[in-house]
Amino acid sequence: MTMHTSTILLIYTGGTIGMIKDSDTGSLKNFNFDELLQYIPELNLLDCDIDTYSFEAPIDSSNMCPTYWQQLVTIIEKQYDRFDGFVILHGSDTMSYSASAVSFMLENLNKPVIFTGSQLPIGDLRTDAKENLITSIQLAALKENNVSIIKEVGLYFEYKLYRANRTTKINAEHFEAFASLNYPALVQSGVNLSVNYNALLVPQNKPLLVHKALESRILLIKMFPGITRETVEHLLSLSTIKGLVLETYGSGNLTTEPWFIAALQKVIDTGTPVVNVTQCSGGSVVMGHYQTSVALKKMGVISGKDITTEAALAKLMYLLARKDVQQDFKTIYETSLRGEMS
């Protein structure tokens, strides 16, 4: 494994990682990413050329939305031939959503696109930002026989590179903020970078296709004991809804109350796709395994299998906007497109 002076584009969208403390007020402020080397001189030691691109106004990740995802993939599309890899700095709160969406929007990706961020600002004494950033750049520059080793969208945090669309944020204050409970880490960072070659996505050798259209008129309903008929029927009566994700119990179970099944059937009868994902952090939906999910299977609810909620929503947005997949929507959704499900 060597790094032959790779060219890396560092894209800053916003988030804690790009902040420093104002010495006068003590408050956090965004710094100019053109001055990156002042804050992390260690980047000079990396055997790669780093260029930077910053969003005009940094985005708090709570305000992240499909418009910004479209901006991100447009930047990558324009710069794709100029750079060997891309590192995206992003707030951690919605990073799994953004990274999952970008993985679907970039078809036939043959280069690394790595999301990272931090729990503490880059200027903080105990920051995790430096390690996350330096290692993410190293991973994006990693080559074998002058060919990039990673050819997919990844998410790097606290010594582990994960497949982005397999991740979920599990902790708001520990440095180990993300987990990938249904898929192993792609790379473990220790004294050396230990690559799990068997876990890496093997892309098709085709030209990059960038999909910018997304359908965001979708609904997510998390099941809970005591959810009322009025609430469910009101939400499902919205005529603007183009897709529905149900976060169900365990292996895909939910209430068998006749009113609930009838409300769901009504949605399916309109041709609106309904996706079943588990509330559990790990594990898979297996419809029909218990009596409480037999009805869902019969009426044509889509099994999300072991997909994360974040990836399920992103995949739904992506596929609903693809006019060419509507005939076989259920089959295509239940097929792994970017390694997002087993």
> Residue 326's domain is classified under what CATH number?
3.40.50.40
Instruction: Compute the distance between CA of residue 173 and CA of residue 92 in angstroms, rounded to an integer.
Output: 11
Distance of alpha carbon 69 from alpha carbon 13, whole angstroms: 10
Question: In this structure, are 85 and 191 located in the same domain?
Answer: yes
pTM: 0.93
Q: Are residues 196 and 243 in the same domain?
A: no
328: DSSP letter: G
Q: State residue 12 phi and psi, 5-degree precision.
A: -105, 120
Task: Say yes or no: 68 and 133 in one domain.
Answer: yes
pLDDT at 33: 66
Span 293-342, pLDDT tens digits: 788 888 999 999 999 999 999 999 999 999 999 899 999 999 999 999 99
The predicted pLDDT at position 4 comes to 56
Q: 160 and 256: one domain? A: no
Q: Catalytic residue at 67?
A: no
Q: Where among 210, 244, 272 does a domain terminate?
A: 210
Domain-embedded: residue 341: no
**Residue 157 and residue 21 share a domain:** yes
Same domain, 160 and 274: no
* Residues 100 and 195 occupy one common structural domain: yes
Phi and psi at 42, nearest 5°, equal -60, -20
- Tell me the H-state helices in the chain: 36-39, 66-79, 95-105, 129-141, 229-236, 258-269, 294-299, 309-320, 329-333
Return the C-alpha torsion angle 49, 54, 58, 59, nearest 10: -80
Q: Specify if 342 maps to a domain.
A: no
pLDDT at 31: 67
> 287-299 as b/e, with b when 16 or more CB fall inside 10 Å?
beeeebbebbeee
Q: Are residues 268 and 173 in the same domain?
A: no
pLDDT mean by block of 10 residues, the chain; 342 residues: 75 82 72 68 86 88 95 98 96 95 98 92 78 94 94 95 96 81 95 95 93 98 96 94 96 92 94 96 86 83 96 98 94 97 96
Last residue of a domain, which of 180, 210, 240? Answer: 210
- Judge whether 157 lies within some domain: yes
For residue 340, tell me if it sits in a domain: no
> Is residue 11 located within the same domain as residue 132?
yes
Number of domains within the chain: 2
Task: Choose the final residue of a domain: 174, 194, 210.
Answer: 210
Co-location of 88 and 130 in the same domain: yes
* Residue 339 located in a structural domain: no
Whether residue 106 is found in the same domain as residue 123: yes
Q: Which of 336, 337, 313, 63 is nearest to 168 (CA)?
A: 313
Which residues span the domain enclosing 320?
A: 218-333
Query: What CATH number is given to the structural domain containing 148?
Result: 3.40.50.1170
Catalytic residue among 13, 16, 135, 168: 16
Q: How far is 21 from 300, CA to CA, in rounded Å?
A: 53
In a domain, 71, yes or no: yes
Residues 194 and 249 in one domain: no
Q: What is the pLDDT of residue 1?
A: 46
Instruction: Answer whether residue 283 is part of any domain.
Output: yes
Q: Is residue 282 part of a domain?
A: yes
